[in-house]
């Protein structure tokens, strides 16, 4: 089972998962934003425990049904699930790729969206079991797809993330968004500046 780093403080520390899924490396806007978000949490919570996953550098295989409980893929999925359940905050770097999310991020979501663990079906329909967490999505987009824009109908990125994590019971969702980063250098600079300003202005807390 995955274990968080040891903590010397007596109080229970806040636990944060930091995920990056952009393939652009040092040129990635979403990676820049997740780093700023996590640093902001570290400033507010000095004892913060962070688990970082670069889903591009260490990609997960796409989900397939495996019956063998000792199979390495099953074991890894169990570790990620337990880590997710124990987390207070999840920070996800999610660039928009072809109107959706990177497949690397989808592979991670498939490891934590598990019937009987993070959701269940009851008499009144589906019920999320992973509530009580804060989710922060660092969203980067080459064009403009926010509500009210001409491209809003093509947003299958933020709408999917809100939908799937809401299905798991997470209702405290913050989106830090940089839009139109491929429209021009000036637009990119302004979009990143606005996103970073929103990070600095947010009260960082656990859900």
User: What kind and span of H or E run contains 111?
Assistant: helix 103-112
**In the prediction, which pLDDT does 4 show?**
55
The values of phi and psi at residue 175, to 5°, are -115, 120
Q: All domains of the chain, ordered by start, with CATH?
A: 15-201 (3.40.50.360)
Binding-site positions for FMN = 22, 28-30, 96-99, 140-143
- 7 falls in which pLDDT band (50, 70, 90)? very low
CB within 8 Å of 8: residues ≥ 6 apart: none
**In the prediction, which pLDDT does 135 show?**
98
Condensed to tens digits (0 to 9), the pLDDT of residues 66-120 reads 766 677 788 899 999 999 999 999 999 999 999 999 999 999 999 999 999 999 9
How far, CA to CA in Å, does 12 sit from each of 34, 86, 129, 204? 24, 12, 22, 17
> Are 181 and 167 spatial neighbours (Cβ–Cβ below 8 Å)?
no
Binding-site positions = 22, 28-30, 96-99, 140-143
User: What kind and span of H or E run contains 187?
Assistant: helix 185-201
CA distance linking residue 187 with residue 84, whole number of Å: 35
């Amino acid at each position: 089972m995955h274990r968080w780093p040891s903590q010397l403080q007596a109080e229970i520390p806040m636990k944060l998962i930091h995920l990056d899924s952009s393939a652009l490396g040092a040129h990635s806007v979403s990676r820049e934003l997740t780093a700023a978000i996590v640093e902001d949490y570290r400033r507010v919570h000095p004892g913060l425990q962070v688990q970082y996953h670069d889903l591009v550098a260490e990609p997960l295989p796409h989900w397939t049904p495996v019956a063998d409980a000792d199979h390495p893929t099953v074991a890894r999925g169990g570790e990620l699930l337990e880590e997710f359940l124990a987390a207070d905050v999840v920070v996800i770097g999610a660039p928009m790729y072809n109107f959706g999310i990177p497949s690397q991020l989808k592979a991670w979501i498939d490891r934590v969206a598990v019937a009987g663990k993070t959701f269940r079906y009851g008499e009144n329909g589906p019920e999320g079991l992973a509530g009580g967490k804060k989710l922060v999505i660092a969203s980067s987009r080459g064009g403009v797809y926010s509500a009210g824009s001409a491209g809003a109908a093509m947003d299958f990125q933020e709408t999917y993330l809100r939908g799937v994590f809401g299905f798991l019971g997470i209702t405290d969702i913050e989106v830090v968004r940089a839009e139109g980063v491929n429209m021009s250098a000036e637009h990119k600079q302004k979009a990143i500046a606005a996103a970073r300003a929103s990070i600095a202005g947010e009260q960082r807390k656990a859900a």
